[in-house]
Structure 1
Amino acid sequence: MLTIIFYTKENCSLCDDAKAILQLLQSDYTFAIEERDIYTKDEWLEEYQLVIPFVQINDIGIDCEQMSIKALEKALKMYL
């Protein structure tokens, strides 16, 4: 099963919106979501603090500027 890595943090409305989109897409596509709070690892905080929410689908990364249902669905279709 495909696992999507979702970099997020607490109290982030953009992250909440991205999570809702991912959950909506789960009704049409089979994948798991692995949430990673960027404040639990220094490397994640350094790399993602300015671009969260950030979704990693295999070698495709979608940051807060690109985040949309269209972008996520297009990336999912490449692997499912």
Structure 2
Amino acid sequence: MELLLYTRPNCPLCDDAKQLLHLLQDDFSFTWQEVNIEENDALHEQFCIMIPVIVHNGDILQQGNVDYIELEEAITARL
């Protein structure tokens, strides 16, 4: 399973989301790719006030203040 993490530089919530993803990788088999929304005008417009955003197959799993338990449940449901 591959996730996308939409972020931007100097975003403390994004840093928290990255840490949670690293922690969850200890228990679940998935990869994730970080996408800087400031490098793409369309993504910046779409996700500007929502970041960080964690997406799997086009579905938003979490956004904003990412919660470990909710993200764990969302990943478990998709494995």
Aligned-residue sequence identity (percent) comes to 35
Deviation, structure 1 residue 59: 4.6
Paired position in structure 2 for 1:64:
64
Paired amino acid for 1:17: D
- TM-score, L = length of structure 2: 0.92
Q: Residues of 2 paired with 1:43 and 1:71: CA distance?
A: 28
Matched residue of 1:6: which SS? strand
Q: Is the 8 A contact 1:7 1:36 kept in 2?
A: yes
Offset from partner CA, 1:4-40 (integer Å, 9 cap, x none): 0000011111100010000000000011111100011
Paired position in structure 2 for 1:35:
34
Q: Residues of 2 paired with 1:25 and 1:58: CA distance?
A: 18
Paired amino acid for 1:44: L
Q: Where do 4+ consecutive residues of structure 1 move more than 3 Å?
A: none
Shift in CA distance, 45/59, structure 1 to aligned 2, threshold 3 Å: closer
- TM-score, L = length of structure 1: 0.91
Q: CA RMSD in A?
A: 1.1
Matched residues, number: 78
Gaps of 5+ in 1: none
